[in-house]
Chains A and B, each alone.
Chain A
Amino acid sequence: MKQLTAKRYLVTVFGAMLVWLAVAAVALLVGAEDIRSFDADALWRVIDYRLERVLMAALVGAALATSGVAFQALLRNPLAEPYVLGVSGGASLGVILGSIFLPGAMRAVTILRAGQAVVTLDTVGLCGFLMALLTIAGVYGMAQRRGRLDPYRLILTGVVVNAFFAAAIMLTAALAGDRLRNEIIFWLMGGLGGLGSRWEEMGLAAPLIVAGVAVFAVQAKGFNLLAFGEDTAASLGLHVERHRRTAFVVASVLAGTSVSLAGPIGFVGLIVPHILRMIVGPDHRLLVPLSVFGGAVFLTVADRLVQMIPYEVAGGLPVGVVTALCGVPFFIILLRRGRRMGGGAT
Chain B
Amino acid sequence: MLRHGVMTVSWLALALALAAPGCRRPVPRAEKPPHERTVVSLVPSVTETLFAMGLGPRVVARSSYCTYPEEARVLPVVGDARDVSFERVLQLRPDLVVFNTSDARFYDRLTSAGIRCLSPRMETVDDVYAVIDLLGRELGAEAQGERLVLKLRSELLAAKNLVEQRGRGDVGVLVTFPATVGGGGDVRVVGRDTFVDELLTLAGGRNVVPLDRYATVSVETVVTWAPEVIVISAPGDIAPGLTDEQYRSAWSRWDAIPAVRSGRVVVLRESYLTIPGPRMGRAARLLVGVLHPDGAAAPENAAQ
Contact = CB atoms under 8 A, between A and B. Distances in A.
Given A45-B254, A45-B256, A196-B249, A99 B182 contact: yes
B217 A32 contact: yes
Interface centre among B185, B188, B223 (most CB of A within 10 A): B185
B218 A33 contact: yes
Contacts of A107: 242, 246
A98 to B, nearest CB: 9
Contacts of A198: 183
Nearest to B215: A315
Contacts of A168: none
A311 B184 contact: no
B184 A195 contact: yes
Interface stretch (B35-43, B144-152, B232-240): B232-240
Contact of B220 (A33, A96, A184): A33
Given A33-B218, A177-B237, A42 B185 contact: no
Contacts of B217: 32, 311, 315-316
Contacts of B243: 104-105
Interface string A161-183: 00000000000000011111001
Interface stretch (A5-13, A185-193, A272-280): A185-193
Contacts of A96: 181
Interface in B165-179: 178-179
A311 B215 contact: yes
Interface string B215-226: 111111101100
Contacts, number: 128
Contacts of A95: 181-182
Contacts of A312: 211, 215
Contact of B219 (A49, A105, A192): A49
B218 A32 contact: yes
A38 B222 CA distance: 11
Main SS at interface, chain A? helix
B251 A195 contact: yes
Interface in B249-304: 249-256
Nearest to B235: A179
Nearest to A190: B182
Nearest to B209: A311
A180 B181 contact: yes
B183 A194 contact: yes
A100 interface: yes
A102 interface: yes
- From B252, B254, B256, name the one whose CB has the most chain A CB atoms within 10 angstroms: B256
B183 A31 contact: no
Contacts of A41: 256
Given A108-B246, A176-B238, A100 B180 contact: yes
B249 A179 contact: no
A235 interface: no
A22 B221 CA distance: 25
Instruction: Return the 10 tightest CB-CB contacts between A and B, nearest first.
Output: A316-B216, A193-B185, A32-B218, A42-B256, A196-B250, A194-B183, A104-B243, A315-B216, A316-B186, A104-B242
Interface of A: 31-33, 37-39, 41-42, 45-46, 48-49, 53, 95-96, 99-105, 107-108, 122, 124-125, 176-180, 183-184, 186-187, 191-198, 263, 307, 311-312, 315-316
